[in-house]
Amino acid sequence: MLRCGGPALLAGALALMLGPLPLRGAEPAERPVAVVDLHVDLSYQANYQKRPFATGSGQFRAADLARAGVVGVVLPLFVPREVAPNGPRVEDFESSYARVYGELGRTPPFRLPGCLPREGGVRTWFAFEGSGPLAGRRDALAGWAKRGLRIVGLVHTWHNELASSSGDREEQPFGLTEAGKAFAREAVRQGLLLDVSHASDRAARDLFSIAGETRAPVVATHSNARALANHPRNLADAELGALARSGGVVGVNFHGPFVARGRPATLADVVRQVRYLVRLVGADHVAIGSDFEGDIRPPRELRDVSGYQRLAKALEQSGMRREDVEAVFSRNALKLLCPAVGLDGDD
């Protein structure tokens, strides 16, 4: 939960409260914790890196998911900026969707997108990571929602017609454009979740303002605490507080430079990120958003899905309650992705 005091004082106090961290290479949890990952870039690997959907780069192999405890995953329909001279197009989203949907149907244990009661396998949902091609077609969001879209990120690493980005080389004089504000409100109207990962600080503030107006949750699908790793892709304490007040979650990212700065990240650094976030905003507002298959450089102990249970065990060894670990690894994400359906399929 949030506490009074300046950001620097709060960051320092929380860092001291984290206590001893687990030894490097902690063993996996004895009883697997169910995992729902808010951001895995298999679409990018299959569509633009020409790798098999079932294996990707090796970080999120279909054959390993059951043993790793994975019960759900959000798959962004990411389209690289260089796919066309003027950037991503609507037809690129359509072709990405068609390819991934087909692969899901023939690649066990994946299930087709949606929130039907779970009968084994891995539930899936789609996300947009950069929605610029739809800037003038926000009416299309209703159709995309019916096709399994659940999360909308307005921008990726470059500003677009909707929003400025945390990756912009020069600060832009806007957060959300007028088109971006209208797009975000329409997404909320369609029951979609707004994602602030990749948004500039100014754009994030605009999204939190819209969330306040509409009482809609905002998520950061794959971001960390800037207080522990000072990177523009991470969120400041004030932003994390606004996200929690909206009812959203922050998905902890495994990419090394977003976990720790100036040196290779370790499992202990990821544990520190999780514990800091839990102390700051509460265990109900933290999730997992590994960014696997997104060309990331994770800690050695989290090189692929086998690391999920290693992280869960390390968190328990660090003093986190098992029920809080379970909330972070799946329950919090599922409450937002499927608010009417439980983990085991109970309405």
How far apart, in whole angstroms, are the C-alpha atoms of residue 287 and residue 76? 17
Place of tokens 């997108």: 113
Find out whether 288 and 310 touch, Cβ atoms under 8 Å: no
pLDDT at 23: 40
Could you tell me which residues are beta bridge partners of residue 194?
152, 218
pLDDT at 1: 36
Place of tokens 């937002």: 336
pLDDT at 21: 44
Residues of the chain with pLDDT under 70: 1-30, 118, 341-347
CATH class for domain 7-337? alpha beta
- Domain spans, the chain: 7-337
Name which of 189, 125, 127, 194 is nearest 162 in CA terms: 194
Enclosing H/E stretch for 194: strand 193-195
Find out whether 224 and 253 touch, Cβ atoms under 8 Å: yes
**DSSP state at residue 233:** T
* Residue 33 burial by Cβ neighbours in a 10 Å radius (0-12, 13-18, 19+): buried
Q: What is the dihedral angle through the alpha carbons of 307, 326, 208, 201, rounded to the nearest 10 degrees? A: -20
pLDDT tens sequence across 281-323? 999 999 999 999 999 999 999 999 999 999 999 999 999 999 9
Place of tokens 């994030």: 204
Amino acid in position 165: S
